[in-house]
Structure 1
Amino acid sequence: MPAILQPTMLLIIAHHHDAEARWLCKILKESYNQPLHLLMPEALGIDYSISLQLKNDGLHHASVFFHEGKVLLDCNDVTYAINRLSYIDPIVWKHTNADERAYATNELNAFFPALIHSLKCPVSNRIYNGALYGDNSFAAKWGMHLYAHGIPVDALLTDATGKLYEKLRTIPAEKINRLMYTNNQVILPPGQEPIINFEAIKQCILKKDEPETLEFIFIKKQNNSPQLVQITKTPSLSCYGNMFAQTIYNHINNLRYDHINGDTQRNTLAAAC
């Protein structure tokens, strides 16, 4: 089947407190006139309603009805999705009893991976093992990959106690270097001085051919050589200005795919006999 050129539509899925996602929406609408929708799990049933059908042949289907403007978005209409979700804490259930709150939390954290899984388009942050951030070892895998190529890695890279964030808060801004990997490109914040050994780091990242959007944060050691300290699937998008927005816009508007054999994160299952 020949590739089909789809009308472009971006879906951004992010938490209600995600200022970076709101910033990206604003830039893409004002500077690029890019059609898009912002979906926040905490507003389910308030700002929008979702219909999700799960079938045993892998051909799942979803649609989202946005109450404002009365817009119905079919999953087939989405050209590219940016997933910035991690753990969903349902704020509208805060005043219920503990059992009801736990039930709602579990349901939402199971529902949204299924919704994202139903999308037939490329997704910036894929679903692993049926769970948000299901690939919990991704930072360790990347750390080992870069370390194997001679790039120093901070011992706190995989720390989950909060010590990493405490350390980052004490580092002067001029000692931090960022780079983002997205759609097989590596981009730097405008005005940031190139990292020492940048080309080697860039080639090391590109070599892994990862289907995610990732941000790598380095700190400069005493000799100004970079040490990897954090890898995240939810980059600080505004740090990259129009460079990231332009990259996403170009990628979306050059996508061609079909719904049977196209660029999708889903593996179609054989129909049950």
Structure 2
Amino acid sequence: MTTDSTPRVALVTGATQGLGRALVQGLTQRFTERDTVYLTGRDAGRVAAAAKDLGVSGEVLDVAEPGAARRVAEQIRQRHGGIDIVFNNAVMRTGPADPPAAVIEEYVAVNNLGTTGVLRAFLPLLRDGGRAIVVASTFGSLRYLAPALHDRFDDLADLDEVDTQALRWRDAVRDGTAMAGAWPAFLNIPSKIAQVAAIRTVAAQRRSSDLERGVLLAAVCPGMINTPTSGQWWDVSGAPSPEQAAVALLDLALGPVDPAHYGELVRHGEVLPWK
């Protein structure tokens, strides 16, 4: 993180509702008036309304649009010189009635290509002590994937290879071969695994220099959250609200770096096994 004399800058994607909005709200509560929080989303009207309501800066950012993350990152570089916290939270939500083949194109564009696009755009801007956190889930572990598919996402060379594997899976869902093979029917599983693979891949390249600079890269599982979307899949009546779920993520972003968390999937301060 920057020194006490330097204003901090944070950005949250997919922040007009749910967990993303709660993360923005939590950052404003923990930041000072000198700091800046960017609330982003793809709908200009909703971004403007949410930013005004929370008293933060709003930026339109559709992570599925090629070049959009780089455009916003360049604006932040020009305004602030760098960034301290990035929460990649944007997600395309689907319901049980959505045919996988009909939604997979946009699903991968937002959840997976969007994630790697945000990492490419904002990692070069991270200041000393910075945090780049990808919101994933418990499903982002290889233990939820058939062993025959593990090498698709393990020990990948770079983010281009992560994208290649995500697109191979997308194409298999689209043409129906995924259902005939070892891929799980629940789209969330391969998608979250690919998100965690993206963090693991860039972390393997940056670990030594990042830890020297106090930088943390991690994927995070917020746990079950009581939202209308989650309610389509599970009984979430007893689950935490987005504001409650955001606390552990904010603690991770604003607390001291635990080297054991670097490049891993973290839930409530504990590392979840990759495989």
TM bucket normalised to smaller: 0.3 to 0.5
Higher strand share: 1
Normalised by the length of structure 2, the TM-score is 0.36
* Larger Rg, first or second structure (1 or 2): 1
Higher helix share: 2
